[in-house]
Structure formats: C-alpha cells, structure tokens
Amino acid sequence: MSAGGFCKLPNGSVVVALTLPSPSEAGGAVRMIVHAVNRARALTRLRNLGLRAVYLRGNAEPPTPDEVTAVLHHPDGLIWRTAPNSLQELWHPIRALRR
C-alpha cells in the first residue's frame, strides 16, 4: 500500500506525492511526484507507466514545498527519488527509473 497525499495549486491543478515500493530489482521505496490537471489524471499517468496498483487514500503525506517546486520546474511533470529522502540525492526523471 502506498502512502501519499496531494496539494491543490492556485491555478486548479494538483501535485500528487506517493511513496511506493521500487519497481526495480534493487527493492526499497521511491517517492514519486506528479503534476496533473486533477488527482485522477495524476494516478492515470502512473498507471500508464506500469504501476497498476496505485491508489491515493487520504492525505497523510502531502508533497512538501520543495517537492512541488521541483515537479513544477521539470518539463515532464513526473519525478522520483529514493525514500526516505536523502538530501544529497537529486530528483530524477521517470526515464531513469524505467531503465
């Protein structure tokens, strides 16, 4: 089960943050941040990448202001890094996780 949350931006779009088990063989967890028009579309973007069992129940771990800023400045609007957050690790585009 994933832990996560969302925040609504002034323009009506949302930023969704989820902590999920890593899809790579190494294991662990990743923190995914998605910018989309609404929550349903954000989860659909993740499901289209192969993360089929992604649900957002509640708002226990909403994105931090730093996470919101990072995803808004990324052209894809979908970034990740390992969880728990390491201050030394930068955000990665989704292409880097799928390799």
Of 51, 60, 62, nearest to 29 by C-alpha is 51
pLDDT tens, residue by residue, 2-50: 688 999 999 999 999 998 887 667 778 888 999 999 999 999 998 888 8
Max intra-chain CA distance, the chain: 39
Instruction: State how beta strands 14-21 and 3-8 pair.
Output: antiparallel
**pLDDT computed for residue 85 by the predictor:** 67
pLDDT tens, residue by residue, 66-92: 999 999 999 889 998 887 766 678 888
Q: What is the rounded distance in angstroms from the CA atom of residue 31 to the CA atom of residue 15?
A: 13
Query: What pTM was estimated for this model as a whole?
Result: 0.86
**pLDDT computed for residue 27 by the predictor:** 73
DSSP 8-state secondary structure symbol assigned to residue 25: T
Query: 17: which strand partners?
Result: 5, 33
